[in-house]
Amino acid sequence: MVPALPPTPLLQPLPSTQNIGDSIFPKLGQAGLDVLNYDLALTVARPGTPQIQAEVTLLLTATRPLPQIRLDVVGPTVSSVRWNGRAVPFRTDSNAQKLLVSLPAPLLPGVRGNLTVRYAGTPGTVRDPDFNFPVNLGWQSVPAEGATAGANFTLSEPNGTRTFLPSNDHPSDKATFTTRITVPVGFIGAASGVQVAQTGVSGGPQTFVFSQAQPIPTYALAIHVNKFERVESPAVPVGVGGSPVQRRDYFPLGTPQPTRDAYIRTAEMMRVLSDWFGPYPFSAYGVAVVTPPLPALETATLSTMPVSSSREPVALHELAHQWFGNDISPADWSDVWLNEGFATYAELLWAEAQGEDGQEMAARWWNSLDRGGTRPLVARRAEQLFDLSAYRRGALALHALRVAIGDDSFRTFVQTYAARYSGGTVRTADLLALARTQTGSAGEAALRLWIESPTLPPLPVVP
């Protein structure tokens, strides 16, 4: 028996305490909402133009009674909303950047329901908080030019997914995805996960269906449309229990060899990283190359790699994010150094595996922070999310831990951390607590100094 609830306020904007309460992006997400799966059917009728047409069904549950669903959305026009198949009242609040949906009865914890949103039009604009990359996040459109086909893809970290997908757009609410991309004949659609179907009559539009069966944060969802060459490589047996990980890369037709060369050693990279981190957490890995000079992004199972970033260290970095970022995700954006620190440290581990001097690399990072300034690792403002401290000081924090406890304990610690939080989310405090229980107070102290010190701690040196 469930106690009676107060009457549902009909589509009233609720106080901001109803948001997830992210410390950097306080307006994102809905507290108490748990999206389990997004089943997205997306039509890109004219690749290279921004327009999309879509229907998404979110499988929802709640951790508190929710009379109203508030999804993050910026852009496309919503034409209908259904709850378990029945039309329900909805309203877009473009100021709050929310889609407000009134449920016939509150969604209660332990209960599931399907919310279907149909929408179409032009994706909205979300400015990148990283001032080094003055780009719009989310749905990207690359117009056709000469012999080059038009293309579209997602580039959403941190908060751009809501430009093309009404969603609980916060990494604390991870979900699985089914993505169905319909494109004109001659084009290829690709998304996070494994391709499970391609349908369509020959000579007509084709639908490519992908299943991402392990939960990922919304920002990590890859969707690509282009005239691609899909290159398959032998599976790599580094999945859970030594299971094979499917390998496929997507190169736009005409991608020159020097760009492709950055990805020749992917299988080797997967082996080296899984030696340090434990099994690769997903069923597939590869890259989709894009032409605009944007930052690379570790989109789940299919990293999005601009031609301008098609270099081995960047390829390695995005692969490392599959463990740290995609499988283990920050519960709050202020903790994003946990992604960037591990991915950057992976570059050092890879360099060492090539016979290079990791300590020298650490010293270079230290010098750059000494010159450029640094901050404690938990970010306080959006401009700090992807700054040098997140990457290099974050990496040096892990180096300090490794130097304090030795290689064997460090490997065990990292694998324990990766296994414990696989599929879930972490805060900086979780890493510190695990360091204390797994490595003792010396390990915890080394890490804590690098996380908290207002000044740059001394370069960690192996005694």
100 or 137: CB nearest ligand ARG: 137
Question: Which of 343, 379, 388, 396 is the binder for Zn ion (CB under 5 A)?
Answer: 343
Other beta carbons less than 10 A from residue 22's beta carbon: 20
214 or 303: CB nearest Zn ion: 303
Beta-carbon contacts of residue 6 (< 8 Å; ≥ 6 apart): none
Query: Are the CB atoms for 144 and 150 separated by under 8 Å?
Result: yes
169 or 298: CB nearest ligand ARG: 298
296 or 361: CB nearest ligand ARG: 296
Question: Which of 296, 300, 346, 447 is the binder for ligand ARG (CB under 6 A)?
Answer: 296
Distance CA 315, CA 388 (A): 19
Binding mask 378-397 for ligand ARG (x = CB under 6 A): --------x-----------
Rounded to the nearest whole angstrom, what is the least distance from the CB of residue 207 to Zn ion in the complex? 32
Q: Is 340 in the site for Zn ion (CB under 5 A)?
A: yes
| Sole window of 36-44, 49-57, 339-347, 433-441 interacting with Zn ion (rule: CB under 5 A) | 339-347
Maximum Cα interatomic distance, the chain, rounded to a whole number of Å: 67
Which two tokens mark 433? 């607590």
Other beta carbons less than 10 A from residue 368's beta carbon: 15
Q: Of all helices (H) and strands (E), which one includes residue 205?
A: none
Question: How open is the CA angle 241-288-281, to the nearest 5 degrees?
Answer: 20
3-state secondary structure of 377: coil
Task: Tell me whether strands 303-306 and 52-62 are parallel, antiparallel or unpaired.
Answer: unpaired
Q: Is 347 in the site for ligand ARG (CB under 6 A)?
A: no
Rounded to the nearest whole angstrom, what is the least distance from the CB of residue 133 to ligand ARG in the complex? 4
Distance CA 393, CA 369 (A): 7
Binding mask 2-31 for ligand ARG (x = CB under 6 A): ------------------------------
Distance CA 334, CA 337 (A): 8
Q: Is 131 in the site for ligand ARG (CB under 6 A)?
A: no
386 or 417: CB nearest ligand ARG: 386
72 or 444: CB nearest ligand ARG: 72
| Sole window of 263-271, 292-300, 376-384, 436-444 interacting with ligand ARG (rule: CB under 6 A) | 292-300
Question: Which of 22, 157, 169, 387 is the binder for ligand ARG (CB under 6 A)?
Answer: 157
3-state secondary structure of 190: strand
| Sole window of 54-62, 203-211, 296-304, 422-430 interacting with ligand ARG (rule: CB under 6 A) | 296-304
- Number of residues located near ligand ARG, criterion CB under 6 A: 12
72 or 298: CB nearest ligand ARG: 298
3-state secondary structure of 136: strand
- Tell me the torsion sign for CA atoms 122, 176, 277, 374: positive
Beta-carbon contacts of residue 441 (< 8 Å; ≥ 6 apart): none
Which positions touch Zn ion (CB under 5 A)? 340, 343
Which positions touch ligand ARG (CB under 6 A)? 128, 130, 133, 157, 295-298, 317-318, 340, 386
